[in-house]
Every structure is written in structure tokens, then in C-alpha cells.
Structure 1
Amino acid sequence: MLGGNGGNNSQGGYAHNARSSPATVQWLLDNYETAEGVSLPRSTLYCHYLLHCQEQKLEPVNAASFGKLIRSVFMGLRTRRLGTRGNSKYHYYGLRIKASSSLIRLMEDQQHLAMRQQPFSQKQRLKPVQKMEGMSNGMAAGSGQQQQQQQGAGLSDISAQVQQYQQFLDASRTLPEFPDIDLQGKVLPEGIELEHIKSFQLLYREHCEAILDVTINLQFTLVETLWKTFWRFAENRSGDTGTLAVHDECEKRLPKECLVILCKYDPVLRWSRHCDNNLYQGLVEILIPDVLRPIPSALTQAIRNFAKSLESWLTNAMMNIPEEMVRIKVTSASAFAQTLRRYTSLNHLAQAARAVLQNTAQINQMLSDLNRVDFANVQEQASWVCRCEDRVVQQLEQDFKLTLQQQNSLEQWAAWLDGVVSQVLKPYQASAAFPKAAKLFLLKWSFYSSMVIRDLTLRSAASFGSFHLIRLLYDEYMYYLIEHRVAQAKGETPIAVMGEVQTLLFFLSWWGPINSEIPIPGMHCKNSEPGH
């Protein structure tokens, strides 16, 4: 048991902090207690502390100094480092709000707020959420809370089973350090000072930490609330004292009008895109640390529903924010959502293929059918389009058959595919042509595999279904490998690479309708006469 409110919490243990009033120390002891198996976000304690200072008319210390005070009051408190500035700690383990504390009522106010933000048809089915930004009570792990669902929106909150699913996550990942905003010599906008830039950086960092925290705890539905809070979403706030306090605190640190101005400032836009790409990449690696490892269906469905809701949540929360920032944010969020959808689909294919690869009878049938494929004809036709060397294609064919014959596991197949990518792209390593060569190889791989599937189809191969499944998996996994290799070559995250694709699609969706009457070679123009 951690040290409680006993001798270790004597006034002498924290007398070194001159700005920590006895009233604040007593407030901590009155409202919090140590206990095993519970946790409390650092942002929760600090927000409660700011409210306390406001009520008592005290000057608050910064987050780092407050962290030192917490550790001196609650001796032996364990923390989890999430890479924040000043080596501060983000999550406290072994600390919770006392049942007798008035902060419990504050939590209930936040839960009612979350209920009011849902359509009426959902309110009757939605149980109170456990957290809001900066307003959260400690929750005992494995406390037997029932699963929460938002059936009307197709969303599921599996946070009550977080301990059950924790083994499938990588909760040890930290939020990388964000660089300072590079002004690149640009003049600050009118009404903006360097202090506003610094405040935006700090608020954005804290905002990203909060998103990371609720994601680790599988509280996906709270991401919308975090976005609304950060972007000062205007909604009926009367009576919601906790939310008013959070909004007012943000307003003191960075007024809304300054936030709007910064959302049009190029250096801030570039910095926000960079931070979002790093945040979302970290979230992907937390939720799906291994695309081939089996994931429970409930967790997979929750992730897919989360991805489905992201864009609408974000655009709604940023309703009154300049279009420049909205476009940057939505592009990154779209890439994040698309990545979650692709990786969960890849994982689903992997589990289906695993059963095939473990079935000796199916493997033998696949080998028999594969040996009847006319690979010489396949190569003859494909080489005209892809211009691949006969030697390389023949080697891949032999390796594929050998790996199949050895009845290798899915992980061994994945290693083989990774080796194929390394072998083919080796001549382009450290070359500016690497991304283009990698994408071209992906096209060739897809073309060749489709030619083999065509041959199997024409022969009515008994194992066609198995080959079709394996082909889908290997194409998806090859895309996954190429995506990561290109990102590594560019020195970017895979999310950033996907963001480029999303930006292109956004441009095409806007440009296409306007230019729908531009003639395309080989196709008839709109309203043109036959033969023209």
C-alpha cells in the first residue's frame, strides 16, 4: 500500500516550496487519497488545483512545480512519463479523489454535460462517461463496470473493459517532444505577441496529451469533447460550472480572438500539421501495435467506429475556426481515420489467412493448383507492361512455392514479404528516387498477382478461394510495408505520407467537377458527337 495521509505527509516534507500555501496542502489532503489499482491524469489534478486557486484567490504555480508538490505530499506516488516538457509526469498511479470530496459533484456536472451533447434518442441508452478534459476521477482497474454503448450513433465505449484489452495495446508509447514554432522571419499578425505563440504551443501540447490519455483508456467518445473544449466550441454552457472554469482558464491563457488569428498564420499551420501527424502516428501504434496479431472483435469494432466518427466530430468542433486551420486538421484526421480502417481490415484478413496457412490439406491443394499455372505466359504478358527481369520474377515464384511447401506461419510469410521489398528496393536506398521506385514496385506486384489469380480463375482451381484470400492479405501487407519504407525515406511518419494522399484527393474532389467537361484522351467529351 502506498503511503497515505500519515507521517510522510507532514508539513516539513513540502516546506521547501514557498508558493505552496498551507491551505493548498490541506486541500490536497482533504480531496485526494492514495490507493492501489487506481490512476488519475496529471491534467485532472492541475485543473482542479487551478479552480482551487481561483476560489481562494491564490496565485497558482506552474504545472511542473505543482507536480513536485504532489510528489512531496503523497510520498512514493508512482508516475508514468509521457515525454512532456520539463520532465513532468502525465499520469499518477495510486491516487484518486476521495468519495467525500466536493469534486465528485463537479464530476457529475461534467457527466451531465456529456449527456446533453447527445441526441435525445441516445440519452436514454448512454451511461455517464467517466472523464472529461481536465475533470476526472480515479477509476479502479477491473472494477466490473458494465460496457457503455451509444447504439444510436453506432459507437461503443469499451473503456470499462480497458484492463481486459490493455494487453492488445501499447500503452507505454509517449508523445514525442514538439519543436518550437519556427516563425521563419515572418512578421507576427496584428494583435499577436510572442507570448500568444508560446501559450498556443503549451495549450496545444496539453490538448494532445489529453487526447493520448483518453485513447489509451479507450474512451474514444471523449475526443469530440476535447476538440470542442480546445477550439472553444460555442454551445449552451449555462450551469456547467466545471466546463465554464476550463473554458475561462483557456481564455485567460489565450483569448479566442488570438486563437482565431493564429489559425491563419502560416508558421502555426505548418507546426500544427507536424504535431498532428506525430500525435496520430503515436495513436495508431498504441491501438494497433502489431497489424498481424489477433485483436478482439469488440476492440476492432470500437476502433473502426472511432475512425468513422473522427471527421464529423472535428468539423463540428471547429465550426467557427478559419478554413485554413480546418483544412489542415481535417486532412491529418482523415489520414488517421483511413489508417485505422486499413490496419483493422489488414488485421482481419491476417486472422482469416492464418487458418488457411495452418491447414495442411488446403496448402497441398494450393501447391497442386499453383504448379499448373503457366508462369511463362504470365511473365510474357506482364513483362510487356511492367518490364520486370525474368530472373527476379522466377526467383520470387520459386521462393513463394518453397515457402508455401514448408507450411510457414503467417509471421514467416510476413518476414518473406519484407525481404522481397528489401531485395527489390536495395538499389534505390538513400536515393531521391526511392519513393517513386517503391510505389512503382507496388503497382507491379499488384499486376503480377492479379495475372496469377486470373490464371487460377480460368482453370477453375479448387483452391481459388484460398488464393484469393491470401492475395488480398499479401497485397494489403505489401502496401503497409511500402507505406512505411517511403515514410522512412522521406523522414516523415506514415500518417504524414497518407496525409499527402488525402490532400490530393481533396484537391481532385474540388477540381474534378469544375473541369468535368475537359476532354480525356480515349474517352468521349461531354455532349460531343459520336466519333469526335
Structure 2
Amino acid sequence: MITWKFSRICTIPFILDQIRLFYSKFYQTIIDSYFPNVLTSLTQTTIEAIRTIANNISYWLIHAIEHVYDPLKLTLIQYTQAFSSILLRYTSLNHLSLTVHTMFLQSSRLITMSNDLTHINFNDLHEQINWLIECDLNLFIKIEQCFKNLFQCQTMLTIHNWTTFIDTLLDDHLILYNNAKEYIYNARQFLLKTNFYCSLILRELTLHYGTSLGSFHLLQLFIEEYLYYRIEQKISYYLNQSVINLVIENLNNEQQQQQQKYIMNKNYQYFFNDDDIDDDFESLSDDFNDPRNILKPLSPVQIDDFILPHGTVTDSFSYIFEDLQPLSNELF
């Protein structure tokens, strides 16, 4: 087929929709085959190979489709960037899970973490949270109890215990919402609140010179990344669409916000031209430098028997009025 005919065909909305559907299923199938379970340990060679593809695939595609018309080109770039983003996040989470799993095998490290956890005043943390974000504290009390219970069983602590704890908390929180808008909003709020709570715990450990600060920081990274992954999975399942389409929707929303900011900035520059403002300031400075406009105070005025508002008469006082008059009468 001639190139220009192919390009014309790819501008038809129906054809573009079919191409989007194909790439959505194509990339999602690759992701699912690489990560049937994101916590399944991969070899270092496999992780490096996946990350190399993810880091370079966008550049390879851009050079390969230089001759393609914009509608198709933008579609291909969008799906490839989303695919690359998901691969990078999943490999990072997989690497984190492997590192945390290795950390849990060291009993001495777990004992130190458990001891440092007892030095944290959780009641004080809950008061801070209640003052800052004014929300129900039951969620944070549950997280505190689960943290303490998990660290009590030091010899049997595994990464599976932590993922079960996160999944249970998330399910209990989201089961209350049936509306799609409320479900998505509260899922994101859950992520924000949990991340904020973990950061407060880490701050307390820093202030109390906890020797296991590095271990808790690693655990915090894993909890945040895994929670983000699970919420993304749940929202995609709830909306009955693939994760890659969900990521593209978020990218489109960000682009729309950037375009709106750009339009607002352009409108501001149109209505408030900096050159006009500079001209106004220059004209004002010329007026101030004109000697005819210089003002001087009048000489002091003495008033005898000044009558106050209540009818009382004063003794002889001197009142100085700071009235101003121009040096030249040419202005009047």
C-alpha cells in the first residue's frame, strides 16, 4: 500500500480506535506475561533486560514512526510511554520485595526494629493527624495494631504477612463504596493517608535516633509502592479496563491541566502586558522628577484658645499642621 494512503486511512476515527484497542491488549499481554505476580522473584539479568527495554522503547518508536501522521503517531507514543512507565514501576517493586524479603530473614534486624517501634508515641502521632487532616482515626489505629502484631511474631515474619495486611486494610476500607467516583476518590485518599502515616513514623524514628531507621525506610518504600500497585489494580478491575488504559487516562488528564495552565498564562500576559506596566512606571517617575511637583510643608501655625469638641477651652497651644503646598503656583 502507498504510504500516503496508509496515513490517510489511519486518520479515520474508527481505525484509530481499533489501533488503540490492539496496542492496549498487546502491551497488557506483555506486562501480564512478565509479571503474573509482581512479587515473584526475577533474576537480576531479567530485571536489567526489562528496564533496558522500558528506558529505550520510546526513543526507538519515535525514530521508527517519523513519517507517520500526527493522530496515529500520538496514539503510538502514548501507549508506548504508558507501557514503559508500568514496566519501570513493576521492576522497582519486584526488586524492593526481594530486598525486604532478605531483610526479614535476619532475626537480629527484626528484633532491633521491634524495639525501636516501642519508642514511638502513637497517641501523639494520632493527635497530629487529627489536627492536620481531620479524619477518622480508626484507620491509623488499625495500622498501629497491625504493625505491632506483625513485629511480635519475629521468627515467622515474611513479606506475605505484609501484603496480606495491606490487602485486608484496603478491602475493608473500599467495601463501603459502590459509586465509581467515590470508590476512586477514597482509594486515592487511602493511599495518601497511609503514606503520610508511614512518613510520620519514619520521622519519629529519626528524632529518636532509631538504629533501624534504614530498615524502616526500606519497608516504607515497599508499602507505598505495593499499595499504589494494588489500588491501581483494584480501580482498573472496578472500571473494567486495563491498567495501561488507566495510566493513559491519567497522562491525558495531566496534559489537559498543563494546557489549561498554559492558556491561563497566555491570557494573563495578554491582559497584563509587562511592557505597558513598564511604560506606566516610567511616566510616574517622570512626574516625580518634575521640580514643579515637589511639595514642602507650611510653617508652623499657632492657635490660641483652641476649642475641643466637648466645648472646653484650652490654654494657648501650638499645633503644627503638616499641610503641603506646591513650590510653584503654575499648577493651579
* Match of residue 210, structure 2, among 461, 477, 485: 461
Offset at 1:461?
Answer: 0.5
Offset at 1:432?
Answer: 3.6
Q: Is the 8 A contact 1:430 1:489 kept in 2?
A: no
* Match of residue 502, structure 1, among 251, 256, 261: 251
Q: 2:282 is matched with which residue?
A: none
State the number of aligned residues.
270
* Match of residue 45, structure 2, among 266, 275, 298: 298
Offset at 1:303?
Answer: 0.4
In the TM superposition, 1:96-495 aligns within 5 A as: 251=1, 255-407=2-154, 408-429=157-178, 431-495=180-244
In the TM superposition, 1:76-87 aligns within 5 A as: none
Return the structure number with greater helix share.
Answer: 2
Q: 1:243 is matched with which residue?
A: none
Q: Is the 8 A contact 2:100 2:218 kept in 1?
A: yes
2:41 partner amino acid: P
Offset at 1:388?
Answer: 3.2
Ranges in structure 1 where 5+ consecutive residues have no aligned partner:
1-250, 520-525
TM-score (norm 2): 0.75
Q: Is the 8 A contact 1:356 1:362 kept in 2?
A: yes
Offset at 1:507?
Answer: 4.2
TM-score (norm 1): 0.48
Identity, % of aligned positions: 27
Pair 305,508 (structure 1): closer, same or farther in 2 beyond 3 Å:
farther
Distance 1:397 1:511 in 2: 42
Offset at 1:352?
Answer: 0.9
Distance 2:101 2:265 in 1: 45
Offset at 1:430?
Answer: 5.4
CA RMSD of aligned residues (A): 2.4
Q: Give the greater-gyration-radius structure (CA).
A: 2
What are the superposed Cα offsets for residues 324-379 of structure 1, whole Å, 9 maximum, x if unpaired?
Answer: 11111111111110000001011111111111112111111111111111111111
Distance 1:429 1:370 in 2: 37
1:366 partner amino acid: M
Offset at 1:322?
Answer: 1.3
2:231 partner amino acid: I
Offset at 1:294?
Answer: 1.5
Please give the secondary structure, in 2, of the residue aligned with 1:433.
helix
Distance 2:85 2:146 in 1: 32
Offset at 1:506?
Answer: 3.9
Please give the secondary structure, in 2, of the residue aligned with 1:270.
helix
Q: 1:196 is matched with which residue?
A: none
2:143 partner amino acid: L
Ranges in structure 2 where 5+ consecutive residues have no aligned partner:
269-273, 278-332
Pair 292,500 (structure 1): closer, same or farther in 2 beyond 3 Å:
same
